[in-house]
Structure 1
């Protein structure tokens, strides 16, 4: 199962590189322009913040060790529904606690997000195989999930925001 998790992480990182490639060369002014809701930088900041918060939750949850509950078919089904929604281009209002992500310099958010991804990779590498079916992650909509579905949710969350990035770029004319 870890091989599958690492494949998902590779896919996540490859898609992030595509995001960067699509933003490289855009002026700082346009990257930080919040005229259409969030700025492009705020979208990146939100993605990093979501992954950081998820990692912190998992790092705390894993302290329960064998006491963590096991994943079952309903957990998988809830996440399947959630990921299907995230994959779509549907829009919805962000919860109030994330309504305004911070804005950074472009290189700064890339560095922060890179460190987050390194920490996620380290967490996956160190995660004991015997806990791979344990509910270590809590998705705000999809509920409690195992590590593989946690990483998969990062992929689908990013896909959801790629739609937003494309929409903002179009509105900005870049």
Structure 2
């Protein structure tokens, strides 16, 4: 794995650790509480995991094609990725893309953390085995930001978690 990809992976892992650390002191009741019409902490985690799992599936499908058949990510990809990441760094509330299902509220903390580790294990295996010829190719399409290369995709996933840490903090303040 190239250094830039390792760096993004480390950022994703750090964000996941921060997210889970924020929740460790919450009771099961707090994990499943939310104001009417909003997501609770378990639903936020489920949304993140669904996003990561869906992204992994997209990457796996896209990289079945020869790398030579996939366009290189250019300035449009960089602009879309940068704009998306800036939006996700803020604590402004955004609607989830309509391609994602409503998050579920069916797990306890340990089940959620275990499921997330399982998804991350699959993603790490994929990244370890991915031929570097795909790294600069448009191998992911975000519903709002458009096509991205691998580093941009991992950057999105990293900032996606950061965004939802803001959401957790707002939720905790309202308890």
TM-score, normalised to structure 1, is: 0.92
- Shift of the alpha carbon at 1:73? 1.3
2-structure distance, mates of 1:135, 1:97: 19
Contact 2:9-2:154 within 8 A present in 1 as well? yes
Corresponding residue of 1:100: 102
Q: How does 1:2-81 map to 2 (within 5 A)?
A: 2-35=2-35, 37-66=38-67, 67-81=69-83
- Shift of the alpha carbon at 1:16? 1.3
- Shift of the alpha carbon at 1:88? 1.0
Corresponding residue of 2:134: 131
- After the TM superposition, which parts of structure 1 deviate over 6 Å for at least 4 consecutive aligned residues? none
SS at match of 1:63: coil
- Shift of the alpha carbon at 1:19? 1.6
1-structure distance, mates of 2:115, 2:104: 12
- Shift of the alpha carbon at 1:92? 2.4
Structure 1, unpaired ranges of 5+: none
SS at match of 2:147: strand
SS at match of 1:64: coil
TM-score, normalised to structure 2, is: 0.92
Contact 1:38-1:100 within 8 A present in 2 as well? no
SS at match of 1:148: helix
56-65 or 29-38, larger mean C-alpha shift = 29-38
SS at match of 2:66: helix
Distance 1:129 1:98, change over 3 A: closer
2-structure distance, mates of 1:78, 1:42: 27
Corresponding residue of 1:114: 117
- CA deviations on 1:112-147 (whole Å, 9 max, x unpaired) are 111111111111111111221111111111111111
Contact 2:19-2:161 within 8 A present in 1 as well? no
Q: CA RMSD in A?
A: 1.5
Question: More helix per residue: 1 or 2?
Answer: 1
Contact 2:71-2:138 within 8 A present in 1 as well? yes
How many residues are treated as equivalent by the alignment? 172
